Chains A and B, each alone.
Chain A
């Protein structure tokens, strides 16, 4: 199971790096979404996988009995997903705004803040 997830993470990272190398900023954002999911899966996998043993405490006891799944990585991933969602919502709006006000999605043509030397004169 770990091997399968590791390969999945690898594929996700490869695909997202490919997307992020594009000049189109929208593609870049999609790549970013993919790679953040790869990072989340990394945390999840790094916490060791336990199948079909939810970390529940039986009634009347203080701790779960026997081997149960590690609950901490899930909490971490959940936090990271929520944070990532907020950031990507912002990034998408920003890219949309960039498209409407700069008229391009090509990062090479985004030179308003840093005009070319030859264009300045």
Chain B
């Protein structure tokens, strides 16, 4: 816990950087007091290509957030989101014999250490050890302590990352005098906001489609069973539109936001849309909606087909009863949920942040940053329990957002 109780959530995405500043009070309430948002620079597919440009943007967003919070140079601790195709996830199982009749704390620690004893490569560091349920003589248990059995097993979903990428990422907050308290994989941070405990128990897939990459996390029986990153995101849709319609990226982005749909409808055949030239309100061109939607749906379908293939049998409907939740900036693309439902063969919805988050931060593009604050609060998956907390939290947040 930071000494001064001020903590920043820094979500550095390919297209935008969001910084939230939270004040963690003594009774473990979260008060969001600052917001900074800037278009990112120097990143591609979630990884830093130009350190100076990336640093400049993050520092500016951080300064904006501090300014909104009425603080300057007071926030010295941060939680950072982590994404990119360098992230890899594996499942490691550890086991031990129970020393006495009942499982003791020592037995549990021994099993845990056995699962974590695998060494990663020298150029890779572990970012998350996400524990899965205990198995005592083959029986799944949430807590094995004092249970009777002979053989205890525990597994971890372990996410590791490339050393260079981590060093580059840490350099950004460190260079402005901010200590990174933890790094959280984007999909897990987003899931903390958009999926509640019931969904995770029933099995839910959280897909965070950002500008450059798509992160996903699969929960089953309340535990993370798989995570992954696909180096395809919303920017690829823009790029496809620019190439397919022979227009500039700016025009393509505008079409994507205003007119594009992730499936082809019956009314698209002869419908056209008017698009202003070069971002100017003067003059313009008409495009067939069918052409636009054909390009967009092909790319979106590809993203979900890759996820489905990677999940394999874990992604089948009976294991993912709560369906899929789409979040991230691209989640706002019209018809994305229908396209995802068709490709994943799962009930799909666009994620909504909990209702204690006021309208300004309710969009899916803020899920990751809000999730980071939840991690900072130490509540993690308990994010959905916030409304049950005393009404003071809502009051503070609303007070800030209605400046």
Q: Do A and B truly interact?
A: no
